[in-house]
């Protein structure tokens, strides 16, 4: 039996007011895979990500690296699964960059002597210099905050990384920089995004979600070039594929 990184079986989630956010989600991801989750707004992409480390819990089962996710092993799961949220302001709540990046390792009981090294490595992996560590996050640009948030997650050395709209609101240079960083990561990646060019660039596999269900799951280029499928779910064929397809 193959060792999956993530096995989601019949996952369902309902909001407190009764709306179904997720219905019957089945998803298996192998270690090292890079999977994109695309779909219109409100499809449930972010909600799905929040289940990967137990922040939200509901019906169905989730296995992370062959352990069942339940309330007894959340700490262990969170060591393995990192989540990058959409808004950096939600994730940078410490007074300095150093403390934000050190927050995760400290919670994992990494010995204090080890912390500076971890912070330095995480910052470097996210494309930032260690000299930034004393700066306050509210003095940083959005691009920098994004990278610090990423560093904060990478500092936990997760094997699975979930990202929610990592490139949103970034200017072209910062976006390119972030894409380069993401491409260089060794973890299993699950990226929820509207940025279809990013998907083409980084992810070999794509999952299409709409109204809380999975409608398609397969090779990226083939799926994104399928105009009928894309339009049916409120998306468009990305420009780069159109250019290839025409003529």
Partner 1 sequence: MRHSFIDRYSALDSPLHLLEPRSKLVAFTTLIIAVLCIPANKGILFFMYFFATAILMGISQVPLTFIMGRVLVILPFIVLATLAAPWRGFPGLAILFIRAILCLLLLILLTNTTRFIELLRGLRKLGCPEILVMNLSFLYRYLFVLTEEAMRMKQARDCRRVGRAPFREELKILSSMLGTLLIRSFERAERMYSAMLSRGFSGEFQVYSPRIFSWRDLTFLSGAALFVVMTFLIL
Do 28 and 87 form a contact (C-beta atoms < 8 A)? no
- Least Å distance, CB 105 to partner 1, is 8
How far is CA 96 from each of CA 57, 150, 219, rounded to the nearest angstrom?
32, 15, 41
Stretch that binds partner 1, among 75-83, 182-190, 222-230, 238-246 (CB under 8 A): 75-83
Do 26 and 9 form a contact (C-beta atoms < 8 A)? yes
Pairing state between β 213-219 and 59-64:
unpaired
> Using N-to-C axis directions, what is the helix angle for 115-125 and 142-154, rounded to 10°?
130
Options 23, 28, 33, 87; binder of partner 1; rule CB under 8 A: 87
Q: Using the minimum distance from each CB to partner 1, give the nearer residue, 13 or 85.
A: 85
Number of residues that bind partner 1 (CB under 8 A): 34
Options 2, 3, 18, 90; binder of partner 1; rule CB under 8 A: 90
Options 24, 28, 40, 50; binder of partner 1; rule CB under 8 A: 50
**147 makes contact with partner 1 (CB under 8 A):** no
**223 makes contact with partner 1 (CB under 8 A):** no
**69 makes contact with partner 1 (CB under 8 A):** no
- Least Å distance, CB 220 to partner 1, is 27
**44 makes contact with partner 1 (CB under 8 A):** no
> In sequence order, which residues have a C-beta less than 8 Å from that of residue 142 and are 6 or more positions away?
88, 169, 170, 174
**156 makes contact with partner 1 (CB under 8 A):** yes
> In sequence order, which residues have a C-beta less than 8 Å from that of residue 114 and are 6 or more positions away?
105
**How far is the C-alpha of 200 from the C-alpha of 242, rounded, in Å?**
13
Beta bridge partners of 13: 22
> In sequence order, which residues have a C-beta less than 8 Å from that of residue 153 and are 6 or more positions away?
82, 83, 84, 91, 104, 161
Pattern 101-140, binding to partner 1, x per CB under 8 A? -xxx-xxx---x--x--------------------xxx--
**141 makes contact with partner 1 (CB under 8 A):** no
Nearest to 26 by CA among 56, 41, 3, 48: 48
**36 makes contact with partner 1 (CB under 8 A):** no
Stretch that binds partner 1, among 148-156, 166-174, 180-188, 220-228 (CB under 8 A): 148-156
Nearest to 57 by CA among 45, 66, 65, 48: 48
Options 9, 10, 55, 231; binder of partner 1; rule CB under 8 A: 55
- Binding positions for partner 1, rule: CB under 8 A: 50, 53-55, 75, 78-79, 82-83, 85, 87, 89-96, 99, 102-104, 106-108, 112, 115, 136-138, 152-153, 156
């Amino acid at each position: 039996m193959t060792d999956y990184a993530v096995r989601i079986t019949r996952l369902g989630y309902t909001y407190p007011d009764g709306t179904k956010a997720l219905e019957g989600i089945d998803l298996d991801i192998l270690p090292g895979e890079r999977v994109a989750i695309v779909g219109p707004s409100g499809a449930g992409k972010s909600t799905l990500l929040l289940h990967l480390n137990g922040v939200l819990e509901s019906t169905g089962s989730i296995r992370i690296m062959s352990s069942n996710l339940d309330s007894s092993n959340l700490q262990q799961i969170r060591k393995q699964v990192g989540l990058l949220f959409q808004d950096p302001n939600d994730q940078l709540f410490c007074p300095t960059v150093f403390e934000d990046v050190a927050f995760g390792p400290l919670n994992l009981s990494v010995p204090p002597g080890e912390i500076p090294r971890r912070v330095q490595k995480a910052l470097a992996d996210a494309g930032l210099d260690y000299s930034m560590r004393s700066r306050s996050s509210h003095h940083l640009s959005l691009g920098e905050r994004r990278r610090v948030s990423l560093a904060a997650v990478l500092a936990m050395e997760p094997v699975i990384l979930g990202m929610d709209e990592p490139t949103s609101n970034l200017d072209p240079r910062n976006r390119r920089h972030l894409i380069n960083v993401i491409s260089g990561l060794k973890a299993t990646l699950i990226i929820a995004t509207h940025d279809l060019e990013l998907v083409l660039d980084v992810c070999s596999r794509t999952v299409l979600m709409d109204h809380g269900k999975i409608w398609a799951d397969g090779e990226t280029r083939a799926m994104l070039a399928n105009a009928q499928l894309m339009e049916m779910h409120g998306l468009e064929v990305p420009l780069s594929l159109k250019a290839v397809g025409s003529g």
